[in-house]
């Protein structure tokens, strides 16, 4: 779970790749750097993310069977909400209990 700003969007084959500036990592099981690519396995913009806006994203690490692909994946039904101070407060509170 992290707060990030969408910097760019690009369609790559049947997927969408977002370049994201990681603002605040709240809960992560793998290291995040200041800029990451977040992949969505469709081209329909589901979930809808707009360039220049900040979101609270809950994504997972995807490593393929051959271990040749290691990326951050935001599934169609993944958690992607516009970031608000309230969302940030709720996530910080939840992180203390998890």
Can you read off the two tokens belonging to residue 80? Answer: 């992607």
pTM, two decimal places: 0.81
Higher-pLDDT residue of 49 and 97 is 49
Triad 84, 41, 83: Cα angle to 5°: 5
Domain ranges of the chain: 2-96
pLDDT at 93: 78
pLDDT band at 61 (very low <50, low <70, confident <90, very high): confident
pLDDT band at 77 (very low <50, low <70, confident <90, very high): confident
Reply yes or no on domain 2-96 having CATH 2.40.50.120: yes
């Amino acid at each position: 779970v992290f707060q990030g700003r969408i910097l760019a969007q690009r369609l790559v084959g049947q997927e969408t790749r977002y370049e994201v500036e990681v603002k605040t990592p709240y809960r992560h099981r793998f290291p995040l750097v200041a800029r990451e690519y977040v992949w969505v396995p469709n081209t329909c913009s589901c979930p809808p993310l707009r360039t220049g806006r900040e979101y609270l994203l809950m994504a997972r690490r995807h490593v393929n069977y051959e271990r040749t692909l290691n990326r951050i994946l935001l599934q169609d039904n993944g958690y992607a909400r516009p970031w608000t101070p309230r969302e940030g407060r709720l996530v910080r509170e939840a992180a203390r209990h998890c």
